[in-house]
Amino acid sequence: MSDAAAPIPPEPAPRAQPAPAGGPHPPAISSAERDELRRQGILLTSLEELYNWGRSNSVWPLQFGLACCAIEMIAASMARFDIARFGSEVFRPSPRQADLLIVSGTVTKKMAPQVVRLWNQMPEPKYCIAMGACAISGGPFKQGYNVLKGIDRFIPVDIYIPGCPPRPEALLHGLIALQKKIRGQTLSGPAAPRHLRAETACTYPVPAFGEHDLLPPKNPAVWQPPSLERTD
């Protein structure tokens, strides 16, 4: 990427050499890369790549299990599936040291405020994986009175892993998808992640225990119920 513009230009934008059209060689950089170089410059782009490479290969999960999905998560961390291959073997017992919240199991309404509080206690940049049917939607307990119908009603979820419970391979696949997502994050611009934008809050309101349900039952800033639209 750096050989496309040999002299280091002054800050705003390097002038990339357009590739000869119709030539035998493909263009050295794509147009999207050229746009990014124009916006951020070589220095920031290289730093971003290094920064994201480092972050994505040391995603430390919170040591936090809720139900049977946690058993699969533990299995994924053991020698047979070995989540250490992807740099995530360090399960931190404190949310202050964790980058990733794996919601591994059924979130009951009694447990939901504690999950949101743990999420608030984690420092940015932080990511959330909803593991299994219960964490995604309530799963088999969706019609019940005591289970939260998806943790995405209160906190933003980056990766959803379906399954009941998902196999350890599925968790590893979700982790790799999260790593790809981290590597794609930019340091500036409109696509910058939540913690680099000044206007977004990084803490989320913790629901209170009400007389019949959680108060509020969902965070409207994070989640809205799906709406149906007639297309015919």
Partner 1 sequence: METPEQIRDRLLARFPDATVTVVANPGPAAQHSLLVDPARAVEIATFLRDDPALRLDFCSNVTGLDWPEREVVETIRKTVPLSPATGAADASPASPAVESATPIVEEKVKRLQPGYLEVVYHLYSMALKHGPVILRLRTGNRTDQVSLPSLTPVWRSCEFQEREVFDLFGVAFRGHPDLRRILMWDEFRDHPMRKDYAEPDDYEWEPTPHETVLAKARAHYSSPAPDAPAAQSP
Q: Which class for 39: exposed (0-12), middle (13-18), buried (19 or more C-beta within 10 A)?
A: middle
Shorter beta-carbon distance to partner 1: residue 18 or 144: 144
Chosen residue from 20, 26, 220, 225 binding partner 1 by CB under 8 A: 225
Return the residues of window 144-183 that contact partner 1 according to CB under 8 A: 144-146, 149
Shorter beta-carbon distance to partner 1: residue 26 or 231: 231
Residue count, binding to partner 1 (CB under 8 A):
20
| Residue span binding partner 1 (CB under 8 A) among the ranges 24-32, 69-77, 160-168, 213-221 | 213-221
Q: Are strands 208-209 and 214-215 parallel, antiparallel or unpaired?
A: antiparallel
Residue 113 phi/psi, 5° resolution? Answer: -60, -35
Q: Encoding tokens for residue 35? A: 């746009």
The dihedral built from the CA positions of residue 87, 91, 94 and 98, taken in this order, carries a sign that is: positive
User: Is residue 231 near partner 1 by the rule CB under 8 A?
Assistant: no
User: Is residue 143 near partner 1 by the rule CB under 8 A?
Assistant: yes
Shorter beta-carbon distance to partner 1: residue 58 or 146: 146
Kindly state the smallest distance separating residue 153's Cβ from partner 1, in Å.
9
Chosen residue from 85, 110, 180, 195 binding partner 1 by CB under 8 A: 110
The residues near 194 (Cβ < 8 Å, ≥ 6 apart) are: 124, 125, 156, 200, 202
Shorter beta-carbon distance to partner 1: residue 16 or 147: 147
Residue labelled with tokens 């088999």 = 140
Q: What angle do CA 187, 193, 197 make, to 5 degrees?
A: 85
User: Is residue 80 near partner 1 by the rule CB under 8 A?
Assistant: no
User: Is residue 38 near partner 1 by the rule CB under 8 A?
Assistant: no
Distance from C-alpha of 4 to C-alpha of 16, rounded to nearest angstrom: 6
Q: Which residues bind partner 1 (CB under 8 A)?
A: 109-110, 142-146, 149, 209-213, 217-218, 225-228, 230
